[in-house]
Structure 1
Amino acid sequence: MTQLVLLSGWGIDARIWQPLTPYWPSGVEVRAPDWPGYGNRVGEAAPATLAELASAMRHDLPDNAVWVGWSLGGLLAGALLAHLPAPRALILIGAGYRFCSEDGVTPAELATFRRAFEREPHATWQHFLRWQLQGEPSSRSAHRRLLGLMGRHPSASYETLALGLDWLAQLDLSEPLGAPPCPVRRMIGERDRLAGQTAQREADLLLADNGHCPMLTRPDALANQLIMLLCDIASLPGAGEAAP
């Protein structure tokens, strides 16, 4: 049985994956753990270092699974490759080597967002929910679905969210993914406003007619693409032991 571990992004807990539930075939075990400080783990302090995060997530990220990280979740999963036993494979959704780029969200734009978050964290979080949906085929219905899943208040504390913004500014996967210890695949929506054009060109798969949140607007297509990638990964010689 193939095991998938789904990891959510900034400001959003594991409930974001619920729309995919009806589309998983038999033979695939799916888990969606929360990051420390989010959702079911909201009472936990968010780790401030990758080593601490690895310790907190060790039992949620087994090496016999395929890790699927979306947005910040993908960046964190990639960074944890240096701190945990390598998984069978890593799939990144809506994530490049780093969050900021000159052809996507620039460092100046992220700095402006962080200043706004310091002044008005709740309003800024709500703005982000709408902002990340810009490239979706129906952003208003996607926003309603997102609010139906998440509610109108984040499950994480503002301190946890601020730490996540630090990760977005700092994490760079150029080195760990330059010679990864497992197969790595990247998929990005062709209309993802948060990913830069370079990240889209370097992606293994572009999700047609999708932006940054395909799980909200095309969960069926996203589940199918993930299963296709699993089949592709499984066919690699020595998959799960070394990068192709």
Structure 2
Amino acid sequence: MNRLVLLSGWGCDARIWQALDGHWPPGIAVSAPDWPGYGQQPESHEPDCLADTARGMAEALPTQAVWVGWSLGGLLAEALLDHLPAPRALVVIGMGPRFCHPDGVDGEELATFRRAFRRDPEATRAHFLRWQLRGEPSPRAAHRQLLGLIGQAPPAGLTTLAAGLDQLARLDASRRRGVAPCPVYRLAGEADPLLAPAAREAADWRLAKAGHCPMLSQPERLAALLTAVANAPALPPTAPEALP
């Protein structure tokens, strides 16, 4: 049975992937583990230490699977390729080789966000949840759906969330271009407000009528694409335009 491991991003735990329930065909095994410090998982002793994160995630990230990382989850999954045996493939959703880009969210904007988070973490996270949904066809409906899945309460402690913002600022996967230990594919919503236009254009696949959270706005198409990756006897898989 082909396997997918779904990894969530900053400020959201694994429950966000429940939006894809009902869209998986037979023969696909799907798991969605929480990162250390999220959900019911204990907080890492050093939340910003990748080696510590790798130890906490080793059992949840098998080699005979396709890892799917969304947003910060994609950036972290790429970084863990230096610490864990590689999967069959990695699909990164809504993230370029770096988070900050002069034509997207630049370093100054992220620094301002981090200062706001230190002053009022709950309000800042609530603002971020709305911000990332601006590119969806119906942002208000997507926001209601998101809160219905993950609730209002923060899914992780302040130390874990602050460490995640630090990782967004410093992690850089660009050095792995062409030398990653497994195929790495990027998927972007065509209206993702957090990605620079160049990053959206450089993606291997772009989903129409989707923003940063295609699991909310395009669950059927996203599940079909990820299924195609998992089922591909040889990568790269079928392009999404050819999917039913």
Q: TM-score, normalised on structure 1?
A: 0.93
Partners of 1:44 and 1:23 lie apart in 2 by 33
Tell me what 2:121 maps to: 121
Find the counterpart in structure 2 of residue 145 from structure 1: 145
Distance 2:43 2:165 in 1: 19
- Partner residue, 1:56: 56
Q: Contact 1:98/1:172 (CA < 8 Å) preserved in 2?
A: yes
* Inter-partner Cα distance in structure 2 for 1:124 and 1:88: 36
Percent of matched pairs sharing the same residue: 60
Give the equivalent residue in structure 2 for 1:242.
Answer: none
Residue 178 of structure 1 and its aligned partner are, at CA, apart by: 3.5
Does 45-54 or 149-158 show the bigger shift? 45-54
Question: Whole-Å Cα distance in 1 between the matches of residues 235 and 180 of structure 2?
Answer: 15
Q: 1:221 offset after TM fit, Å? A: 1.3
Amino acid at match of 1:201: E
- Stretch of structure 1 that moved more, 219-228 or 116-125: 219-228
Determine if contact 2:209/2:218 at 8 Å carries over to the other structure: no
Task: Give the counterpart letter for 1:58 in structure 2.
Answer: A
Runs of 4+ in 1 over 4 A off after TM superposition: 42-46
State the Cα distance separating 1:208 from its structure 2 match: 0.4
Who is 1:41 aligned against?
Answer: 41
Q: After superposition, where does 1:1-244 map in structure 2 within 5 Å?
A: 1-42=1-42, 45=45, 47-232=47-232, 234-236=233-235
What SS does the aligned partner of 2:165 have?
Answer: helix
The alpha carbon displacement at 1:199 in A equals 1.0
Q: Distance in 2 between matches of 1:51 and 1:160?
A: 15
* One-letter amino acid of the counterpart of residue 27, structure 1: G
In structure 2, what is the Cα distance between the partners aligned to 1:191 and 1:41? 33
Q: 1:97 & 1:14 partners in 2: Cα distance? A: 22
User: Which segments of 5 or more consecutive residues in structure 1 lack a partner in the other structure?
Assistant: 238-244
User: What is the alpha-carbon distance in structure 2 between the residues aligned to residue 27 and residue 183 of structure 1?
Assistant: 22
SS at match of 1:41: coil
Please, which runs of 5 or more residues in structure 2 have no aligned partner?
237-244
CA distance in 1, matches of 2:212, 2:165: 17
Contact 1:35 1:57 in 2 (8 A): yes
Q: Secondary structure at the match of 1:220?
A: helix
The verdict on how the C-alpha distance between 1:223 and 1:46 changes in structure 2, with shifts beyond 3 A counting, is farther
Count, aligned residues? 236
Question: Aligned-pair distance for 1:230?
Answer: 3.1
Residues 34 and 66 (structure 1), Cα distance of their counterparts in 2 relative to 1, 3 Å cut: same
> TM-score w.r.t. structure 2 length?
0.93
1:68 and 1:24 mapped to 2: Cα distance?
A: 15
Contact 2:229 2:235 in 1 (8 A): no
Kindly indicate whether the alpha-carbon contact (under 8 Å) linking 2:69 and 2:92 is maintained by their aligned counterparts in 1. Answer: yes
Distance 2:133 2:189 in 1: 11
For 1:20 and 1:236, locate their aligned partners in 2 and report how far apart those are by CA, in whole Å. 23
Deviation at 1:44, TM superposition (A): 5.2
